[in-house]
Amino acid sequence: MIGHVYAKFSEEEEAADALNVMNNRYYDGRRMEVEFSPVTDFREARCRDFDEESCRRGGFCNFMHIKPVPMCLIRDMEEDAEDERRRDEMERRRKEERRSRSKRDRKDGHRHRSSRRDRRSRSRSRSRSRSSGGRDEA
């Protein structure tokens, strides 16, 4: 069992997602082969000798030598997850901002066209009134 890692998930969907993401990826130059474990009760799969620090078979033991995850690794993983959440949130905000800017531009474009028409009609009426000397011709 040298190099085997077991991860327990609370949801089956999460386990399936992890399997799909991790399978055939490389870690430390070695390809990972991920599969579901037939072990249903991890308490029975543990090496009791290892738990008592007396297992002499080492990596060749047929039972699981469960080692705690170092806190530094947990912190690094939490920081990475937080960074990813921040990036996702920033990207979501950028997309939202682009959408709202695009909507605003479309509305402003419509306003500009109508205001241009209004300005043209006003300038025509002014030029008519100037040509008539300010008098209305009937």
What is this structure's pTM? Answer: 0.40
What tens digit of pLDDT does each residue of 55-79 get?
988 777 878 887 778 899 889 989 9
3-state SS, the chain, equals CCCCCCCCCCCHHHHHHHHHHHCCCEECCEECCCCCCCCCCHHHHECHHHHCCCCCCHHHCCCECCCCCCHHHHHHHHHHHHHHHHHHHHHHHHHHHHHHHHHHHHHHHHHHHHHHHHHHHHHHHHHHHHHCCCCCCC
Q: How far is CA 72 from the centre of its chain?
A: 23
What tens digit of pLDDT does each residue of 24-52 get?
998 888 888 999 887 777 777 888 888 88
Q: Which of 24, 38, 32, 29 is nearest to 3 (CA)?
A: 32
Instruction: Round to whole Å and give the CA distance between 31 and 21.
Output: 13
